[in-house]
Amino acid sequence: SQTIHQWPATLVQPVGSPLSLECTVEGTSNPNLYWYRQAAGRGLQLLFYSVGIGQISSEVPQNLSASRPQDRQFILSSKKLLLSDSGFYLCAWSVRADTQYFGPGTRLTVL
Amino acid sequence: QKEVEQDPGPLSVPEGAIVSLNCTYSNSAFQYFMWYRQYSRKGPELLMYTYSSGNKEDGRFTAQVDKSSKYISLFIRDSQPSDSATYLCAPRYGNNRLAFGKGNQVVVIP
């Protein structure tokens, strides 16, 4: 069966520090991968999606970036965090046009 | 203009009541409509989805889509305290992306 992992589960970072969140999927090949952010009082906002290794599409302009170095690994990064980057970050996967399945999420607090 | 609108609530109901949730959308090109359930501090999990207009039933849950009015509904019969969660509607669009509303928070009181 398929499993999705995210780490860390919780992170507290100072403003201006770098960020690296990791997501890995097991039990499937060539999945579509997605990064979402859920800020307080707001819905899930799609940040990036990837349909293959090295193929990243950005949905909104921001100081975040994403990379997909391996088929089942998706990384979200920032060089300098802003207060507005605080939120609940969710990774999701799907097989082509099938259902999206979400990971457990990373709760990021920027102070 | 936001693509998907949901009243965030919270909606409080007594155990056993019928819960009625809805959302509206603006993009007439949406064809698939997902409902996810999200417990506090957890990732969303898929409840059910419908294609185009019509009804779909799965146990105590019924999803309805009215494309003519761009209106999506979810009904929960015989609500249980374990149904207390936030319910997210999410139409699907190109490259299997989802457009989420803010979600409807439901509290079922024992």
* Residue A98's CATH number: 2.60.40.10
With CA atoms as reference, report the closest residue to A64 among A21, A104, A25. Answer: A21
Contacts of A71 (CB under 8 A, 6+ apart): A29, A30, A31, A52, A53
Task: Tell whether A94 is within 8 A of chain B (Cβ).
Answer: yes
pLDDT single digits (tens) B60-110: 999 999 999 999 999 999 999 999 999 999 999 887 889 998 999 999 999
Q: Residue A110: inside a domain, yes or no?
A: no
Sign of CA dihedral B46, B28, B52, B21: positive
Tell whether A111 is covered by a domain: no
Q: How many domains does chain A have?
A: 1
Cα–Cα distance, A77 to A1 (Å, whole number): 28
Using a CB–CB cutoff of 8 Å, tell me whether B85 touches chain A: no
Positive or negative torsion for Cα B69, B64, A48, A15: positive
Residue A61 — pLDDT band, cuts 50, 70, 90? low
Q: Which of residues 14-43 of A touch B (CB under 8 A)?
A: 32, 34, 36, 41-43
**Mutate which: A34, A58, A100, A106, vs B, most B CBs within 10 A:** A100
Give dist(CA B68, CA A31) in Å, integer: 34
Provide the pLDDT confidence category of residue A45 given band limits of 50, 70 and 90. very high
Residue B110, Cα to own-chain centre: how many angstroms?
22
Greatest Cα-to-Cα distance within chain A, rounded to the nearest angstrom: 39
Distance CA(B101)–CA(B89), nearest Å, equals 6
Strands A44-52 and A19-26, bridge-based pairing: unpaired
Is the Cβ pair A49, B8 closer than 8 Å? no
Q: Which residues of A touch B101 (CB under 8 A)?
A: 43
CB contact under 8 A, B95 and A57: yes
Smallest Cα–Cα separation from A39: which of A98, A102, A96, A87? A87
Residue B95 forms contact with A (CB below 8 Å): yes
Q: Does the pLDDT value for residue B1 go beyond 60? A: no
As a whole number of angstroms, the distance between CA A7 and CA A29 comes to 21
- Domains of chain B (ranges, CATH numbers): 4-109 (2.60.40.10)
Q: Looking at residues A11-28, what average pLDDT do you find? A: 97
Using one digit for the tens of pLDDT, what is the confidence trace for A66-109?
999 999 999 999 999 999 999 999 999 998 777 899 999 999 99
Contacting residues of B for A49, CB less than 8 Å apart: 95, 97
Top residue of A38, A42, A108 to mutate, by most chain B CBs within 10 Å, is A38
Range of the domain at A50: 3-105
Q: Which two tokens stand for residue B19?
A: 């819960």
> What are residue B40's phi and psi, to 5 degrees?
-55, 130
